[in-house]
């Protein structure tokens, strides 16, 4: 199921052709950057506007003449300018504000409302704002998850261990809910999920989240965290809240950093878990009208960290030394055998604490102004990480999981995870008559492949390889959005009306591993009789034919991470369409009420309608009361 937007694209090419006679537009900035959320008002008139995410505004004037224009913003001195405009004239201006010594730009948000950006103290729902640029200079955190853990009380993310691929992704939670109930946006556009389902007791077991660590910190300007349900505004997954990552838009400025560290603990041998991250960012101005392209890159390295004490269980039994014990019974001979082989219990432990990871990322963010005040924008990135985690140690006494001729002292299985993340978004926005319009398409893909190393398939006996291609997962998502909004100044203290449409297509694949990674070659079926059995090898058979010295059947598949079977081969798709409406009423300068409703239909799930009502009353500049009530949903994922 899909939506055809082609007639609308033709209309967007004609952005801004319908307008009133006199137009005042321009950009508000300080000495270093554009300012979002600044208020531009006309003395004696009700006309006013807020600057958008690029610091731009536009006001229609009723007649030619001279007007007093006021520009104000938190932390800056109010600027007053006398502007003369002629009949049928469009005047482009640039206003530069001076700091009043209490600049608080990071307090402005675009999340949680379809209206103009506003101070986070004036939003009808709670929004946290994280200034990444400041934090990476003063805090010892190097990834997005670590930074948000450090500054946002509602955000939780932990480094996982012994959880296969999740060791390299670090699922995140908001307000104590699962990773699949947090919606992540990049520049206000939906970010795709990972291809991996979290398993093995990790945070959010059984759920699918978004890999925030795939985004380099050097590419981020700030992060907004909406701590409230927002399914009526943003759709599926926005039950716990929304995280909006605003990308860097600096120009003519080079920034680079290298950060390193490590751990030292009671059970570590000196310093382990060493990390190194190198970041670089540079932006280029494309025109004098605000166009730019900003590039970011990062390299990350993380080594093993382990907090495991020496193994206290049985490592060797008398089956492991048939020369001394010709009639073994399974007795524990660990201490004597360790001494004979010159080993210690510390040689038989897994790495529980932190996996090894190495990778890099490239991101870009760009805007190109075009005719009639419209602009084309694009952003996206590429991230690749190669990680190695471990399973539990297979000791020599585990006769059915080890082949002594290959690993006399047992082995520590390694799980190699190759993680490729790709994304690209592009769109055009501007004015279509009196309506602000935004048309965009966002594509994202995540591919995860597994390799099991330093292992055996014990059912192959001494012929077993020690490394297997174990299969993987792939998830792609394509989202098309068309949004309209308009601020009406006359009713009450202003009403903002917004509505829009979304079409999303998702595709999920499970790719099986090589046969030896999952098959038990000791299984067979009986094609004869009970009295005269005839055994035919069969991976699906229920009769074991290969046995260890203790009489137990050998285990099949790669130890540590059995590969994905052909029986699990999956190739599925689905689509969804959605429409929303949002009405924000400023009854007075103090009282704001916001209502939203959203309809969404999934090709495999059905339809849902969700609503939200939020309000804010501002008693003073430092005290306000706000509340919200909403319904939400999360559509079952394809994973």
Q: Would you say residue 162 has pLDDT above 90?
A: no
Give one word for 162, left, alpha or beta, with left for phi > 0 and alpha for psi -120 to 50.
left
Please report the DSSP string for 521-561 in residue order.
Answer: TTEEEE-S-SSS--EEE-TT-SEE--B-TTSPBPPPS-SSS
Task: Dig out the tokens for 466 from the structure.
Answer: 């020690």
Q: Is the pLDDT of residue 108 over 70?
A: no
For 332, the token pair is: 């524990």
The pLDDT of 485-501, averaged and rounded, is 89
Burial, 344: exposed, middle or buried (Cβ in 10 Å; 0-12, 13-18, 19+)?
Answer: exposed
What is the bridge-based pairing of β-strands 22-29 and 90-96? parallel
Distance of alpha carbon 290 from alpha carbon 99, whole angstroms: 22
Amino acid 490: pLDDT: 78
Q: Is the pLDDT of residue 214 over 60?
A: yes
Total structural domains within the chain: 3
Tokens 């209502």 locate to: 595
pLDDT at residue 21 greater than cutoff 60: yes
Domain boundary among 47, 72, 103: 103
Residue 494 lies in a domain: yes
User: For position 140, what pLDDT does the model report?
Assistant: 63
Q: What is the pLDDT of residue 111?
A: 61
CATH of the domain at 401: 2.40.170.20
- Cβ atoms of residues 287 and 344 within 8 Å: no
275 and 342 belong to one structural domain: no
- 532: Cβ contacts below 8 Å, ≥ 6 apart: none
- Residue 525 to residue 538: CA distance in whole angstroms: 6
Q: Which residue has the higher pLDDT, 318 or 109?
A: 318
Q: Would you say residue 226 has pLDDT above 50? A: yes
pLDDT for position 618: 86
Q: Which residue has the tokens 């939200």?
A: 612
What rounded mean pLDDT belongs to the chain? Answer: 86
pLDDT at residue 50, rounded to an integer:
80
C-alpha distances in Å from residue 243, one per residue of 101, 187, 257? 29, 10, 25
* Least confident piece of the model among 9-13, 68-72, 97-101, 480-484: 9-13
Are residue 418 and residue 461 in the same domain, yes or no? yes
If asked whether residues 292 and 343 sit together in one domain, one would say no
Tokens at residue 219, please? Answer: 């590419």
* Residue 92 neighbours by CB distance under 10 Å: 12
| C-alpha span between 323 and 194 (Å, rounded) | 52
Same structural domain, 344 and 429:
no
Whole-number pLDDT of residue 157: 78
Give mean pLDDT, residues 143-169: 78
Report the pLDDT value the prediction gives residue 15, as an integer from 0 to 100: 42
Name the range with the highest mean pLDDT among 101-110, 199-208, 231-240, 359-368: 359-368
Find where tokens 């009789």 sit. 529
Dihedrals φ, ψ of 37, to 5°?
A: 85, 5
Cross-strand partners of 26: 57, 93
DSSP structural state of residue 366? E
* Residue 186 near residue 146 (C-beta atoms within 8 A): no
CATH number at residue 88: 2.60.40.1120
Phi/psi of residue 550, nearest 5 degrees: -90, 5
> What pLDDT was estimated at residue 19?
41
Give the tens place of pLDDT for each residue, 111-131: 656 665 555 567 777 787 877
pLDDT of residue 509: 96
Q: pLDDT of 403-448, one tens digit each?
A: 999 999 999 999 999 999 999 999 999 988 889 999 999 999 999 9
In contact, 619 and 590? CB cutoff 8 Å: yes
Where does a domain end: 77, 103, 129?
A: 103
pLDDT value at residue 636: 83
Residue 107 has pLDDT above 60, yes or no: no
How far apart (Å, rounded) are the C-alpha atoms in residues 263 and 353?
11
Tens-digit pLDDT profile for residues 270-305: 788 888 889 999 999 987 777 899 999 999 998 888
Indicate if 333 and 273 belong to the same structural domain.
Answer: no
Q: In the predicted model, is pLDDT for residue 474 greater than 50?
A: yes
Containing H/E element for 499? strand 495-511
333, 258: one domain? no
267 pLDDT higher than 70:
no
- For position 112, what pLDDT does the model report? 58
How much is the average pLDDT of 445-461?
Answer: 96
Provide the CA 241 distance to its chain's centre, in angstroms: 13
My answer on whether 431 and 486 are in the same domain is yes
Domain that holds residue 370: 106-309+349-516+571-630
Share above pLDDT 90 across residues of the chain, in percent, rounded to a whole number: 44
pLDDT of residue 139: 62
Whether 406 and 432 have beta carbons less than 8 Å apart is answered as no
* CA atoms 487, 489, 490, 496: torsion sign: positive
Q: For residues 430 and 23, give the distance between their C-alpha atoms in angstroms, rounded to a whole number.
A: 14
CB 279 within 8 Å of CB 254: no
The phi and psi torsions of 374 (rounded to 5 degrees) equal: -85, 165
Q: Is the pLDDT assigned to residue 334 strictly greater than 90?
A: yes
Q: Does any domain span residue 135? A: yes
Those residues with Cβ within 8 angstroms of residue 98's Cβ, 6 or more apart along the chain or in another chain: 30, 76, 77, 79
Residue 543 domain-assigned? no
Residues 314 and 263 in one domain: no
Q: Is 548 within 8 Å of 554 (Cβ atoms)?
A: yes
Are residues 410 and 365 part of one domain? Answer: yes
Question: Does residue 350 register a pLDDT over 70?
Answer: yes
- The answer to whether the CB of 470 falls within 8 A of the CB of 558 is yes
Is residue 2, in this structure, part of any structural domain at all? no
Select from 103, 120, 154 the last residue of a domain: 103
Is 639 contained in some domain? no
Q: What confidence score (pLDDT) does residue 219 get? A: 92
The answer to whether position 526 is within a domain reads no
Q: Is residue 135 located within the same domain as residue 159?
A: yes
The answer to the question of residue 595 being in a domain is yes
138, 242: one domain: yes
In a domain, 13, yes or no: no
pLDDT at 13: 42
Asked if residue 591 and residue 490 are part of one domain, the reply reads yes
Please tell me the distance from the alpha carbon of residue 407 to that of residue 394, in angstroms, as a whole number: 10
Q: Given pLDDT bands bounded at 50, 70 and 90, which one contains residue 599? A: very high
For residue range 541-566, list pLDDT tens digits in order: 999 999 999 999 999 999 999 999 99
Which H helix or E strand runs over 150?
helix 144-151
Q: Is the pLDDT reported for residue 5 higher than 50?
A: no
More confident residue, 52 or 597: 597
The pair of three-digit structure tokens given for residue 548, joined into one six-digit string: 């260890």
Residue (of 389, 399, 395, 403) closest to 353 by Cα position:
389
Give the pLDDT score at 110.
59
- The least confident of 154-163, 375-384, 471-480, 524-533 is 154-163
Could you tell me if 50 and 73 are in contact, meaning their C-beta atoms sit under 8 angstroms apart? no
Predicted local distance difference test score (pLDDT) of residue 174: 85
pTM of the model: 0.81
């Amino acid at each position: 199921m899909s939506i055809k937007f082609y007639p609308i694209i033709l209309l967007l090419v004609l952005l801004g052709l319908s307008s009133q006679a006199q137009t005042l537009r321009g950009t508000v900035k300080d000495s270093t950057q554009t300012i979002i959320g600044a208020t531009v008002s006309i003395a004696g008139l009700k006309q006013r506007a807020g600057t958008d995410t690029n610091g731009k505004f536009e006001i229609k004037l009723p007649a030619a003449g001279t007007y007093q224009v006021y520009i104000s913003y938190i932390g800056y001195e109010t600027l007053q300018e006398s502007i003369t405009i002629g009949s049928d004239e469009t005047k482009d201006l640039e206003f530069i504000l001076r700091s009043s010594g209490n600049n608080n730009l990071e307090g402005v948000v675009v999340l949680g409302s379809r209206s103009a950006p506003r101070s986070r103290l004036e939003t009808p729902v709670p929004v946290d704002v994280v200034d990444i640029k400041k934090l990476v200079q003063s805090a010892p955190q190097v990834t997005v998850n670590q930074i948000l853990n450090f500054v946002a009380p509602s955000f939780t993310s932990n480094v996982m261990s012994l959880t296969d691929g999740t060791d390299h992704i670090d699922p995140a939670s908001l307000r104590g809910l699962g990773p699949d109930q947090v919606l992540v946006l990049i520049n206000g556009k939906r970010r795709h999920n990972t291809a991996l389902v979290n398993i093995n007791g990790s945070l959010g077991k059984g759920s699918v989240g978004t890999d925030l660590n795939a985004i380099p910190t050097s590419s981020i300007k700030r992060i907004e965290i909406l701590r409230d349900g927002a399914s009526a505004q943003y759709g599926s997954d926005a039950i716990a809240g929304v995280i909006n990552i605003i990308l860097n838009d600096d120009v003519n400025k080079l920034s680079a950093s290298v950060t390193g560290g490590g751990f030292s603990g009671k059970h570590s041998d000196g310093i382990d878990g060493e990390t190194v991250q190198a970041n670089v960012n540079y932006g280029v101005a494309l025109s004098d009208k605000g166009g730019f392209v900003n590039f970011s890159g990062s390299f990350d390295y993380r080594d093993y960290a382990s907090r495991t004490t020496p193994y206290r269980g049985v490592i060797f039994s008398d089956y492991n030394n048939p020369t001394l014990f010709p009639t073994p019974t399974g007795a524990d001979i660990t201490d004597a055998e360790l001494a004979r082989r010159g080993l210690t219990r510390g040689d038989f432990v897994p790495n529980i604490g932190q996996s090894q990871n190495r990778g890099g990322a490239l991101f870009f963010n760009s805007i190109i102004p075009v005719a009639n005040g419209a602009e084309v924008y694009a952003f996206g990135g590429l991230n690749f990480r190669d990680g190695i985690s471990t399973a539990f140690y297979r000791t020599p006494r585990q006769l059915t999981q080890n082949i002594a001729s290959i690993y006399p002292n047992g082995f520590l299985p390694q799980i190699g995870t190759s993680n490729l993340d790709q994304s690209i978004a592009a769109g055009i926005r501007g004015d279509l008559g009196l309506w602000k319009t935004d048309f965009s398409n966002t594509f994202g893909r995540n591919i995860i492949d597994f390799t099991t190393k330093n292992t055996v398939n014990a059912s192959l006996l001494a012929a077993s390889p020690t490394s297997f291609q174990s299969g993987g997962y792939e998830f792609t998502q394509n989202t098309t959005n068309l949004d309209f909004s308009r601020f009406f100044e006359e009713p009450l203290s202003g009403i903002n009306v917004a509505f829009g449409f979304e079409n999303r297509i998702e595709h999920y694949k499970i790719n099986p591993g090589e046969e030896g990674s999952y098959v038990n070659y000791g299984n067979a079926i009986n094609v004869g009789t009970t009295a005269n059995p005839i055994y035919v090898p069969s991976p699906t058979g229920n009769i074991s034919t290969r046995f260890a010295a203790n009489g137990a059947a050998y285990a099949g598949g790669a130890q540590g991470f059995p590969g994905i079977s052909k029986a699990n081969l999956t190739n599925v798709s689905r689509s969804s369409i959605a429409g929303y409406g949002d009405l924000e009423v400023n009854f007075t300068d103090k009282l704001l009420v916001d209502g939203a409703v959203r309809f969404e239909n999934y090709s495999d799930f059905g339809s849902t309608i969700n609503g939200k009502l939020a309000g804010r009353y501002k008693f003073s500049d430092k005290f306000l009361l706000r509340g919200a009530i909403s319904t939400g949903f999360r559509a079952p994922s394809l994973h």
